[in-house]
Amino acid sequence: MEARQAQARADGEKNATIKRAEGEQQRLILEANGQAAANKTVTATITDELIRYELVKRIGDDIKVLILPSGQQFILGEDILGPGK
């Protein structure tokens, strides 16, 4: 009798573990699909101008020198920096 109860308890725990794992799997799939959709939206809307704007916004108004790797075609013109900067 006790052996059957122990086996039933073990089977119940096993089934609960499987259900938790399946739920976690579904959660991860939904999360990955959501992230993929967000990435697609960002990719479709990002532009070089937006990237330059965000860079300038983040480096601040007091920047005097910006060092970039050689060969980079990255020019910050007055349209981005403003006149006289």
Residue 1's pLDDT band (boundaries 50, 70, 90)? confident
Dihedral of the alpha carbons of 82, 83, 84, 85, in degrees to the nearest 10: 20
Q: How far apart are CA 85 and CA 77, in angstroms?
A: 9
Give the contacts of 68 (CB within 8 A, at least 6 positions apart).
Answer: 74
Q: How far apart are CA 44 and CA 36, in angstroms?
A: 12
**HSE-up of residue 64 (Cα within 13 Å, Cβ side):** 0
For 34-61, write each residue's pLDDT tens digit: 999 999 998 999 988 888 788 878 877 7
pLDDT of residue 60: 72
